[in-house]
Amino acid sequence: LTGWQIGLETNSNYSDARIKRIAGERLKAELDNGRIVIVAGFQGINKMGDVTTLGRGGSDTTAVAIAATLGADLCQIYTDVDGVYTADPRIVKNARKLDAITYDEMLELASLGAQVLHNRSVEMAKKYNVDLEVVSSFTRNPGTKVKEGSNMVSGVARDNNCARVAIINLNDTPGTAFKVFSLMAKHNVNIDIILQSVGRDNKKSISFTIRQDDAERVAGILRDAKEMLDYEDVSINTKVAKVSIVGAGMASAAGVASKMFEALAGAGINIRMISTSEIKISVLINEEDSEKAVKAIHDQFFGD
């Protein structure tokens, strides 16, 4: 069956549509008749009956949506790896496969560069309480379950699709940051880590990270807005990477940040920016150091 045949309804953002609901009557009827139902992922229909596609990760998201509609006990995602690891096993040879990971941890890892599951599928699984399992298409080994729970640190992720923007010597007055970031929002630029310097001589600088793919576009946007923003200079560095640790148990565990920074210091890696939440710590470093950073941090938290 195709998406429209099972009533998979989406909005009208044709190449990056969001699932609104699955009617599911045809799907349930076929199952009740003892048939094995194979559904094409990645696509559905909007309210006009036009075919839409779901964008990156659309097949995973389709599978989770069907599992939610059917009230399934488990949704298995078959991929080229046999589970979720504490780090990319192509970089860290002693990376460990996790038996289980929480929705929030998996969501953070997916957003921070881990390529096992797309974050939209994890968002939907959490919203509808669908248990996921990441398993290999090539072996029969047990995979990694994604469900509720808690780990102090679950994994290390790396994202090389980063660029650091520094707007130098802005006026240190109320509303300056609003001008900068409303301009970015107007042009649909996603912002991640933000750092503002201490104001001196009525001037301050604002740095933030964006996707490397957006660097050239953002340079043009800021160049055109120089008179409005009244800054001295703009610097964009595309040779940076973001390395992160994720763990739902961080909020109640002291010393996690200290251990991460100790690992980076021991490896001689300089930190450019830092961002934290209850379940993650991210640092911006030179891109050339990213692989070394992942190995050092992994050894600190998961080494023997």
Beta-carbon contacts of residue 170 (< 8 Å; ≥ 6 apart): 176, 180, 203, 204, 205, 206, 229, 230, 231
Token couple for 291: 């692989």
DSSP 8-state class, residue 95: -
Contact 301/246 with Cβ under 8 angstroms? Answer: no
What is the pLDDT, as a whole number, of residue 124? Answer: 87
Q: Taking the CB of residue 265, how many other CB atoms lie within 10 A of it?
A: 12
Taking CB atoms within 8 Å and a gap of at least 24, the contacts of 36-39 are 37/1, 38/1, 39/1, 39/2, 39/3, 39/6, 39/66
Question: Rounded to an integer, what distance in angstroms lies between the CA atom of residue 245 and that of residue 260?
Answer: 8
Q: Which pair of structure tokens corresponds to residue 28?
A: 């349930």
What would the two tokens of residue 97 be? 């496969």
Taking the C-alpha atoms of residue 36 and residue 287, their distance in angstroms, rounded to an integer, is: 48
Q: Helix, strand, coil proportions of the chain in percent (round to 5)? A: 35, 30, 40
d(CA 266, CA 259): 10
Among candidate residues 148, 144, 103, 102, the one with its CA nearest the CA of residue 121: 103
Neighbours of 49 (CB within 10 A): 8
3-state secondary structure of 13: coil
Question: Facing residues of 21 across strands?
Answer: 9
Cα 86 to Cα 109: distance, rounded to the nearest angstrom: 10
Strand-pairing partners, residue 158, are 243
pLDDT at 251: 67
Please compute Rg for the chain using Cα positions.
22
Q: Residue-wise pLDDT tens for the chain (304 aa)?
A: 998 899 899 998 888 888 888 988 999 999 999 999 999 989 999 989 899 988 877 899 999 999 999 999 999 999 887 888 888 888 888 888 888 888 888 887 776 656 678 778 888 888 888 999 988 888 888 889 988 766 678 889 999 999 999 999 999 999 999 999 999 999 999 999 999 987 778 899 999 999 999 999 999 999 999 999 999 999 999 999 999 998 877 766 778 899 999 999 999 999 999 998 888 899 999 999 999 999 999 999 988 6
Q: What is the DSSP letter of 142?
A: -
